[in-house]
Chains A and B, each alone.
Chain A
Amino acid sequence: MSNPNELTHEARASGSAREEPSAHPFREMLKTVVARPEFVSFLALILLTLFTAYYVDFSHDGPGRFLTLDNLTNITRQVAVTSILAVGMTFVILTGGIDLSVGAVVALTSTLMAGAIIGGAPFWGACGIALLVGIACGAFSGFFVARFSLPAIIVTLAMMEMARGLGLLYSGGNPLPISFEFGFLARNFTVNGFPVPIPTLIMLAMFLIGYVILNRLPIGRYIYAVGGNEEAAILSGIRTRHIKMFVYVVSGFMAAVAGIIQTARVTSGQPNSAIGFELDAIAAVVLGGTSIAGGRGHIVGTLIGALLLGVLNNALNMLEISPYTQRVVKGVVILIAVLIGVLRKKK
């Protein structure tokens, strides 16, 4: 549980902004936006983009490479898989849980999907299998977390091992290549000669689904309630076990969607792929201002967090910074962003 005093504090801070006389509705809105926890990451995203554009594009002659439509759509393609995982992860973290299994579930669903296609199943049938397996994995974790109140970190760690192991068992440890034509989900969809990556479209669709569930359906409110004050939620007549089950199922489903895209990208099922993706997903959620203790956060923040990680990755590549240094930078960025978030909350 998070510290209730802390909650009060933050709520006061954000609330007091609203109490000012509303003579300037625009200024009011601005204040509300600035007070949001994901604002730090949003600012970082803008600054990073400007900085990189300056160094990569404007300080050299010739055509720019960073601030081009091509590169920017490419970034969204690159972040699609982890962002989709982050959608599910947002659900889980909002209830105060965590799902470490999603990377392994991506690999498992991808392997099974490729196996099904090799075995002669139609493409969409194989996708269906992947989704069912993802949902089953989520339901498995959800069952143990909800029914027996086991710590989510342990249950999903176990799920991670099992999913990884099952993928390896099924494939014998080898990649299962499928025909190149099945890679169309990873390619572009052309609108008026303007190429839009299909993974980007799927990612946006998943964010939209997540947004609608969390903000427009009762179950969304219950998810926040469970993470905010579980005892109050129980006594308010919320079936908290069902809610917990649901968020892990969503996470499993999102992992399967990510697995389908992953399969299309590499036109094979690779049992050793997607290692550590769960950590990128968690990083995106946390950068997006969602409280790791649950109960507070927003899915739009997750999108910002995921884009920040994507742009950072892309920018560091263009600045020709070594992959080793990149990881150090990524770690520092996560730490600073969260630190600023906490310090702002304390004020």
Chain B
Amino acid sequence: MLEMKHITKRFPGVVALSDISLSLNSGEVHALVGENGAGKSTLMKVLNGVYQADEGQIFIDGKTVHPRNTREAQHLGISIIFQEFSLVPYLNAYENIFLGRELLTRLGMVNYSAMREKAGSALEAMNVSLPLDKPVAELTVAEQQFVEIAKATLFKCSYLVLDEPSATLTPLEVEKLFEVIRRLQSQGVGCFYISHHLEEIYEIADTVSVLRDGQHVFTGPISSCSQDELITKMVGREVTQAFPPKRAPEAISREAVLEVKALKFEKSEMLSFQVRKGEILGVAGLVGARRTESFLALIGRDHATHKEVLLNGKPCRISSPAAALEQGIGYLPEDRKKSGLFLQFSIRSNIVISNFDKLKGMFGFVSNKKESDLSAYYVDRMRIRTTTDRKMISELSGGNQQKAIIARWLATRCQVLIFDEPTRGIDVGAKAEIYLMLQELADEGLGIVVISSDLPEVVGIADRILVMRYGSIRAELSGKDIDSEKIMYYAAGGE
């Protein structure tokens, strides 16, 4: 039996896990559910040795263990398969399975035939057949997952964690996955199954635990709790953020500033929706709903197979983010560090980078005066807390960095602004300021889109909400229909 007792994990400024106790029996499938950011993955990373718990202990069959890294966890019999696989794409299945612990011949050479044979029999034991000699990049996602599982079983894994295994699988592949899990189960392997898709949980799990905001809310047999009760437990948090009061639905114009008649990309169905003048449109969904992908396809960052867009009633072609910006559609990326900030630039340069067309002085040179005026105006308007805008942006807190990026897009004078996770990882105070800013922008008549995984946030600020799942829009909620449980219901696959 695997037990975690009183696990607490703090990160600077937040308690990610607070006094969590869970156990996993051999041969049990234990589902772990909760909203995005509830602490499921963090907990598994503690189990896996990626993070060290600040308090609490892990026991295996009554003995305390302290895995300090993935390798040690594996030696203890704990294997985790994350959403992003850790396979080397150019190596084939058995090379991946034995990566780092290759079987050798007596001469110290890699013994390919033995590796191939053993990998083959491990996969056979799972009742899976897949091409062993192809690079794994050419396998399907499901097959890659089976390679990962085979890798774990060959490590004598007795506790397996599957983090969102079904997010990118087809229903048929999910069936096959369940078959494999049941087989492992019968061999005595205990399994933590993390998923957003509740109907799957009812099919595969024996026990279910709910985490919410790093707290352990519930554990019980799956049969003891209906899907609706589970949803209530997942989202039933008090709304602590201060949201500006919403406007009456009648006060918002019905006029669309952006009308997406048809949008389709590789992994989506045909999408169509409107962004209206002066409204905040929320886009909700779970991991794998392809919300970000949809908007990246819309602005021309990613390839769309079909795109028909009207801007102010006129057809427009958006071939690249630069073209989108020229026509007044701005997209603020979800990952601030990776695709928003220029960390080696000052605050000022970060703000003005998209706005040089307004800063031209003599001979097309950048006018220092105009540059500093523009930057000063937005530093003030966004209430960015800094002594000077010549400071490196990397010195600011996350919230102030986010405000600076918002300033960059405000300065472009776009008519439609798409905010992808605008408040991820920032403190409550800055959040409140950003909500107020979003409301002000909508009041000025802009069309605002907010993609957010934070349910209370979308519920708190959006005038209208699109709920997405697997690359399609499942529901449109507005006015009184907007509430967390409804969103969760549609996001998790309810019809």
Binding site for B on A (CB under 8 A): 4, 7-8, 10-12, 14-15, 18-19, 212, 216-218, 221-222, 224-225, 228-229, 231-239, 295-296
Please measure, in the bound complex, the distance between the C-alpha atom of A225 and the C-alpha atom of B393, giving whole angstroms. Answer: 14
In the complex, given contacts A212-B365, A235-B339, what are 16 additional A-B residue pairs having Cβ atoms less than 8 angstroms apart?
Answer: A4-B337, A4-B338, A4-B343, A11-B393, A15-B391, A18-B391, A221-B349, A221-B366, A228-B345, A229-B342, A232-B341, A236-B325, A236-B353, A238-B322, A238-B354, A239-B320
A236 touching B344 in the complex, CB below 8 Å, given contacts A12-B395, A15-B394, A229-B339: no
Who on chain A is nearest to B364 by CB? A217
Please measure, in the bound complex, the distance between the C-alpha atom of A18 and the C-alpha atom of B392, giving whole angstroms. Answer: 10
B366–A218 contact, CB under 8 A?
Answer: yes
Task: Find chain A residues with CB under 8 A from B360 CB.
Answer: 218
Please measure, in the bound complex, the distance between the C-alpha atom of A57 and the C-alpha atom of B331, giving whole angstroms. Answer: 64
B412 to chain A, nearest CB (A): 7
A217–B338 contact, CB under 8 A?
Answer: no
Residue-wise interface mask of B (327-340) relative to A, using a CB-CB cutoff of 8 A (1 in contact, 0 not) = 00011010001111
Who on chain A is nearest to B360 by CB? A218
Please measure, in the bound complex, the distance between the C-alpha atom of A217 and the C-alpha atom of B364, giving whole angstroms. Answer: 7
A93 to chain B, nearest CB (A): 14
Please measure, in the bound complex, the distance between the C-alpha atom of A8 and the C-alpha atom of B392, giving whole angstroms. Answer: 9
A15–B333 contact, CB under 8 A?
Answer: no
Name A232's contact: one of B339, B364, B392 (CB within 8 Å). B339
B31 to chain A, nearest CB (A): 35
B468 to chain A, nearest CB (A): 21
- Would you call B77 an interface residue if the criterion is a C-beta within 8 Å of the partner chain's C-beta atoms? no
Please measure, in the bound complex, the distance between the C-alpha atom of A8 and the C-alpha atom of B349, giving whole angstroms. Answer: 16
B322–A8 contact, CB under 8 A?
Answer: no
Name A8's contact: one of B331, B390, B391, B394 (CB within 8 Å). B394
Who on chain A is nearest to B323 by CB? A237
- Would you call B321 an interface residue if the criterion is a C-beta within 8 Å of the partner chain's C-beta atoms? yes
Task: Find chain A residues with CB under 8 A from B331 CB.
Answer: 235
List B residues 76-120 near A (Cβ within 8 Å): none
Name A7's contact: one of B338, B343, B387 (CB within 8 Å). B343
B343–A11 contact, CB under 8 A?
Answer: yes
Residue-wise interface mask of B (304-329) relative to A, using a CB-CB cutoff of 8 A (1 in contact, 0 not) = 00000000000000001110111000
A11 touching B344 in the complex, CB below 8 Å, given contacts A218-B359, A239-B322: yes
A214 to chain B, nearest CB (A): 11
B344–A7 contact, CB under 8 A?
Answer: yes
A237–B344 contact, CB under 8 A?
Answer: no
30 A-B pairs whose Cβ atoms sit less than 8 Å apart in the complex: A4-B338, A7-B343, A8-B343, A8-B394, A11-B343, A11-B392, A12-B394, A15-B391, A15-B394, A18-B391, A19-B391, A217-B364, A217-B365, A218-B356, A221-B366, A224-B345, A225-B353, A228-B342, A228-B343, A228-B345, A229-B338, A229-B341, A231-B339, A232-B333, A235-B333, A236-B321, A237-B330, A238-B353, A238-B354, A239-B322
- Would you call B276 an interface residue if the criterion is a C-beta within 8 Å of the partner chain's C-beta atoms? no
A7 touching B394 in the complex, CB below 8 Å, given contacts A228-B343, A234-B301, A235-B333: yes
Please measure, in the bound complex, the distance between the C-alpha atom of A218 and the C-alpha atom of B364, giving whole angstroms. Answer: 8
Task: Find chain A residues with CB under 8 A from B431 CB.
Answer: none
B356–A221 contact, CB under 8 A?
Answer: yes
List B residues 388-412 near A (Cβ within 8 Å): 390-395, 408, 412
Task: Find chain B residues with CB under 8 A from A235 CB.
Answer: 301, 321, 331, 333, 339-340
Which 3 A/B pairs are nearest by Cβ-Cβ distance?
A237-B325, A218-B356, A11-B392
Please measure, in the bound complex, the distance between the C-alpha atom of A232 and the C-alpha atom of B393, giving whole angstroms. Answer: 14
Task: Find chain A residues with CB under 8 A from B320 CB.
Answer: 234, 239
Who on chain A is nearest to B361 by CB? A216
Please measure, in the bound complex, the distance between the C-alpha atom of A271 and the C-alpha atom of B349, giving whole angstroms. Answer: 45
Task: Find chain B residues with CB under 8 A from A238 CB.
Answer: 322, 353-354
Task: Find chain A residues with CB under 8 A from B365 CB.
Answer: 212, 216-217
Please measure, in the bound complex, the distance between the C-alpha atom of A218 and the C-alpha atom of B345, giving whole angstroms. Answer: 14
Who on chain B is nearest to A242 by CB? B322
B392–A15 contact, CB under 8 A?
Answer: yes
Who on chain A is nearest to B362 by CB? A216
B386 to chain A, nearest CB (A): 11
Name B412's contact: one of A10, A18, A217, A237 (CB within 8 Å). A237
Task: Find chain A residues with CB under 8 A from B321 CB.
Answer: 234-237
Who on chain A is nearest to B332 by CB? A235
Task: Find chain B residues with CB under 8 A from A233 CB.
Answer: 342, 353
A228–B344 contact, CB under 8 A?
Answer: yes
A229–B366 contact, CB under 8 A?
Answer: no
A221–B338 contact, CB under 8 A?
Answer: no
Please measure, in the bound complex, the distance between the C-alpha atom of A216 and the C-alpha atom of B394, giving whole angstroms. Answer: 23
Task: Find chain B residues with CB under 8 A from A212 CB.
Answer: 365
Please measure, in the bound complex, the distance between the C-alpha atom of A233 and the C-alpha atom of B325, giving whole angstroms. Answer: 12
Please measure, in the bound complex, the distance between the C-alpha atom of A233 and the C-alpha atom of B395, giving whole angstroms. Answer: 20
Please measure, in the bound complex, the distance between the C-alpha atom of A238 and the C-alpha atom of B324, giving whole angstroms. Answer: 11
Name B344's contact: one of A222, A239, A295 (CB within 8 Å). A295
Name B394's contact: one of A11, A18, A225 (CB within 8 Å). A11
Task: Find chain B residues with CB under 8 A from A14 CB.
Answer: 392
B333–A216 contact, CB under 8 A?
Answer: no
- Of the candidates B326, B331, B345, B391, the one having the most CB atoms from chain A within 10 angstroms of its own CB is B345
